[in-house]
Amino acid sequence: MASPPPPEPALPPSAGLESMEGLVLDTVICKAGARPAAALACASTRLRAAVADDSLWRRFCAEDLGLEAPVDPDGRPLPSFQVAYKVWLESFGMYPLPLVKRVKKFWSSMKTWLSENFPEAAKTLCKGVTEAQLKSAEDDLGFKLPMPTKLLYRFCNAQLPFSENHEANKCTSTHGIIGGYAFYDHWVNVHLSPLEQIVEETTEFYREFPDVFNGRKLIIVATSWFHPKTFLLNCSNGELYVGTNNLPLGEMLPCVPKALIKPTDNDLPQDGLLLWLEEHLRRLQNGMIKTRMLMKSRYISLYPEAPPSCTSAVTNGVQVRGSAVFVPEHPGAQRSCMYTYSIRLSVPEACMLGGVYYSSCQLNSRHWTIRSRDRVVSDVRGEGVIGQYPVLSPGQDEFVYESCTPLPKGPGSVEGSFSFVPGKLSQPEGKLFEVMVAPFPLEVPEYIF
């Protein structure tokens, strides 16, 4: 019996590609991805020529890294997209590229927003750290940092650290990229800490409060220069916390929904710090929070500026906007939740009462009703607001003031009214009239800043 013919030798995978026409070949290589494309370049002269097409690498750079121009991680121009992809892979190849693209996009968008809206804060951002610096920080801390946090600091080493120069700190004290609030003598402005400050402050905190950190692998990632407010990242599970007034006793609250945190996801890990910063950027971009002047300095105000957190009502031409912020670090929050609220008063067009136009009106008194779970817990009446009796006229800037209130249990709300007189209190031009304050919420939010 004749033996069967020997099987024909298998063709290498590249042989099939060799027979493809240009457009089909380009499509196949493009769908294969950058790393298989680089391997194909070693298979034959024709494939090497196809893979060398820089339009192909332009697409790889855009899809994998979010690059629109052939530049290195420091923004310096490179001769081609193929070279750019290689340089970026050498710098960040130890991380999942979808995460690299995501973190790059965050910092690019944050820097753009700051440059356009808050250039003073943009100037405080620092150049990213190296892998060696991250390794040194991990050695000093005694544990590993979460991958998303490491990438955040590779792209940007947060903000300039506070120094021992009190006057220098005052100049940048309101420039925290997280922002804050101010009411009475309680001023908060949160800065994102650079790597060296993280190591220094975390080490000091371990030394001062060893029981708080016992085996928990926490690091301090953001702080306030004015009244202390501290944000801590748990490097074991990726959760982000804010310290309460009882932080020395270990009391902290989560700042990010726990369900979203995936520090060990192989494809796209995300920890609390990255999620927190991305949410903060979204609020800046959509106008939920904005910059405002404090004394003579600009700062990011955390008082919401848009519904549903900020409410608005107009009565007889007088507009009142109100919103509140949860204040976990306040000393008064030990037995209840503490909130600071911001009230903005204005006359956008005209003060009208009974069909009569008045050129101005002046606040006389206030009435607040504060509810906790639909139960009235406080009903307050008083003269003026924070000792002032503002006069409002059409076209003027809003009169803004801040105050605070405790709330036994949440959620709750604030509503009320102001009484005004047409003209001025010293020379009224008509009868007192009431201006309504639409209810605005008091609640512990999912994201705490």
Here the CATH number for the domain that contains residue 43 is 1.20.1280
H and E: helices and strands count for the chain = 14, 22
Give me 17's structure tokens.
């590609």
Q: Note down the domain range covering 84.
A: 17-93
Q: What is the C-alpha to C-alpha distance for residues 433 and 166, in angstroms, rounded to an integer?
A: 48
Burial environment of residue 425 by CB neighbours within 10 A (0 to 12, 13 to 18, 19 or more): middle
pLDDT in tens, 323-362: 999 999 998 767 789 999 999 999 999 999 999 999 999 9
Q: Are 413 and 440 in contact (CB under 8 A)?
A: yes
Residue 1 belongs to some domain of the structure: no
Q: What is the C-alpha to C-alpha distance for residues 338 and 331, in angstroms, rounded to an integer?
A: 9
Q: Same domain, yes or no, for 177 and 199? A: yes
Q: What is the C-alpha to C-alpha distance for residues 244 and 209, in angstroms, rounded to an integer?
A: 15
Element (H, E) at 149: helix 147-155
Given a cut of 50, whether residue 246 has pLDDT beyond it is yes
Q: Are 442 and 375 in contact (CB under 8 A)?
A: no
Q: Are 269 and 149 in contact (CB under 8 A)?
A: no
Of the listed ranges 39-53, 303-317, 377-391, the one predicted with least confidence? 39-53
Q: Same domain, yes or no, for 232 and 175? A: yes
Residue 12 belongs to some domain of the structure: no
In this predicted model, which residue has the larger pLDDT, 272 or 374?
272
Tokens 């943009």 belong to: 122
What's the start-to-end Cα distance of the chain, in Å? 84
Residue 292 belongs to some domain of the structure: no
Q: Same domain, yes or no, for 270 and 367? A: no
Residue 331 belongs to some domain of the structure: yes
Q: What is the C-alpha to C-alpha distance for residues 177 and 180, in angstroms, rounded to an integer?
A: 9
Given a cut of 80, whether residue 119 has pLDDT beyond it is yes
Q: Same domain, yes or no, for 325 and 387? A: yes
Residue 248, preceding peptide bond in cis (omega within 30° of 0): no
Domain boundary among 73, 93, 113: 93
Stated pTM of the model: 0.90
Residue 5 belongs to some domain of the structure: no
Q: What is the C-alpha to C-alpha distance for residues 436 and 68, in angstroms, rounded to an integer?
A: 51
| Per-residue pLDDT, 108 | 97
Q: Same domain, yes or no, for 140 and 229? A: yes
What DSSP string runs through 93-134? Answer: TTS-HHHHHHHHHHHHHHHHHHHHH-HHHHTTEEEPPPHHHH
Q: What integer best gives the mean pLDDT of the chain? A: 90
Q: Same domain, yes or no, for 355 and 413? A: yes
Residue 14's pLDDT band, with cuts at 50, 70 and 90, is very low
Domain boundary among 259, 286, 313: 286
Residue 300's pLDDT band, with cuts at 50, 70 and 90, is very high
Q: Same domain, yes or no, for 248 and 136? A: yes
Q: What average pLDDT does the segment 184-202 reach?
A: 96
